[in-house]
Structure 1
Amino acid sequence: MNKQQCCQQCENDENVLVCVKCTQGLCEECFKQFGGQDFEALCPVCQMLSVFRQTQVEICEACADIHESEQEEMECLYKSMNLMKEKMNQLFLVGQQRLKRVELLKQQIQINENEINMIKAQTQIL
C-alpha cells in the first residue's frame, strides 16, 4: 500500500484524504475525529489546521505555492505572538519587582514613623 493511500491512524485504505503539507493520510472517520470539515482538519503531524485532498487528486503548483505562503505567514504570526508573550512575561516580572519594592518602602516608612513617634514621646517626657 502507498503511504498516501492508507490512513496512518487506523491503517484503513478506503476514501483516504491526504494533508497537502505533509502527505499524512486520514480515512474519512479519522478525518472527522480531527475536526474534519470542508477538506480542512487538524493534521496530527503538522499540528495545525491543514487542507486535505483526495488521494487521486494532484494539487497544482500554483495552489501549493499559495498554501506554502499561507503556512509561512502563519509561522511568522506564531513567532510574533511568542515574542509578544515573552515581552509580556518580562513586563509582568518587572511589575512584580516594583510591587515588592513598594512594599519594602511602605515597611520602611512605617518603621520611620514609629521611630519619629518614639522620639516625640521621649522629647515630651524630657
Structure 2
Amino acid sequence: MTFPQALALPEELDRLMRRVRLPCMRKAAPDVLATARAQRWDPAEVLRLLIAEEVTGRDAATRRLRRHSRFPSPTSAVRGTIPAGAGSSRAGAGAPRSSPSPLRTGRSRPGVMTGDD
C-alpha cells in the first residue's frame, strides 16, 4: 500500500498558521491534507482532525509545563544559595547568617520613636 505524498503547505497558509500560533496544526497539516485529497474527505473532517491535533499538542505542552512547576529541578530550588563550605576555610561553615531583625525579635531600633516613651 502506498501512502499519498505530503506536499509542503502553501506559503500563505504556513504564514497564517504561524501568525495565530498553531504549531501542532502546522506540523500535521501536510500529511492530513495529502490523505484528505487521496480519500476525498469532507472539508469539515479535515478541519476537525487538524483542530484535534492542535488541542492534543497544547494539552501535552500544558502537562509538561505543570509537571515542571510541580516538580522543579533540584538546581532551581537552590539557585542563588552558597553551598556549605564553599569559599571558607572553616569546616562546616556555610553561608553567613544574617542578624535577627529587630521587628522579629520585638526589640526597638535606635532612633525610631515608639509609643512606649
The structure richer in strand per residue is 1
Give the TM-score normalised by structure 2: 0.35
Under a length normalisation based on structure 1, what TM-score does the superposition of the two structures give? 0.33
- Structure with greater helix share of residues: 1
